[in-house]
């Protein structure tokens, strides 16, 4: 609670970085990690697939994550849960300077705004804000699906995974053709 109060009072450590104006992935600045996330929903089985790709300033893959869970098929909630998992994954990796990129404009705007919502999605967004307040610097950007295609493929692949698939300095073969 104190973290949220401090964050609201003092502003965030979010840097103002312009979203890419083109439809290709752009490397982050030196010592910053770019983290793309996405969600895929299997409505028939009420499953959520989460894909996360972490790359450094040279574009090298630092880590990838595919995760799935049972979740009521609500696309907005699914994207928020995926963003939360991306944030916690960065914390687990010990990263300090991150740029999160996702193709859900609603989730990106919700994270960027200071107001809280008490909806299911709003509570997940609040968790994200608390996690992000612990990073030295962070930003959240909206990108087009074309820029987020790797995270999208990881999220779709995650629907077939029973356990989390975390690879360090590697990625699953299902996205080999995208590099």
Residue numbers of the domain that contains 124: 33-178
> What is the 8-class DSSP label of residue 116?
-
Q: Please compute the mean of the pLDDT values over residues 87-113 and round it to a whole number.
A: 97
- 77 domain-assigned: yes
Give, in order, the Cα–Cα distances in Å from 84 to each of 9, 145, 174. Answer: 22, 19, 23
Residue 148 is predicted with a pLDDT of: 96
- 131 domain-assigned: yes
- 84 domain-assigned: yes
CATH number at residue 130: 3.30.420.10
The residue count for the chain: 179
What are 25-74's pLDDT values in tens digits?
899 999 999 999 999 999 999 999 999 999 999 999 999 999 999 988 79
Q: Please compute the mean of the pLDDT values over residues 149-171 and round it to a whole number.
A: 95
Residue 118 is predicted with a pLDDT of: 84
Question: What crossing angle do the helices spanning 120-132 and 2-10 adopt, rounded to 10°?
Answer: 80
- 9 domain-assigned: no
37 in Cβ contact with 56 (< 8 Å): no
What's the structural domain count of the chain? 1
- 90 domain-assigned: yes
- 3 domain-assigned: no
- 106 domain-assigned: yes
- At residue 173 the predicted structure's pLDDT band, cuts being 50, 70 and 90, is confident
- 83 domain-assigned: yes
């Amino acid at each position: 609670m104190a973290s949220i109060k401090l964050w609201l009072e003092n502003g965030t450590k979010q840097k103002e970085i312009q979203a890419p104006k083109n439809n290709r992935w752009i490397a982050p600045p030196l010592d910053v990690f770019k983290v793309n996330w996405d969600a895929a929903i299997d409505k028939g089985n009420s499953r959520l697939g989460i894909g996360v790709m972490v790359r450094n300033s040279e574009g090298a893959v630092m880590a990838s994550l595919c995760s799935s869970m049972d979740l009521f098929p609500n696309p907005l909630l699914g994207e928020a849960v995926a963003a939360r998992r991306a944030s916690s994954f960065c914390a687990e990796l010990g990263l300090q300077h991150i740029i999160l990129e996702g193709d859900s404009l609603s989730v990106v705007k919700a994270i960027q705004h200071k107001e809280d919502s008490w909806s299911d999605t709003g509570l997940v967004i609040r968790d994200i804000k608390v996690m992000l307040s612990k990073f030295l610097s962070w930003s959240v950007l909206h990108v087009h699906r074309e820029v987020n295609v790797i995270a999208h493929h990881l999220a779709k692949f995650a629907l077939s995974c029973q356990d989390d698939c975390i690879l360090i300095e590697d990625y699953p073969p299902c996205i080999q053709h995208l590099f």
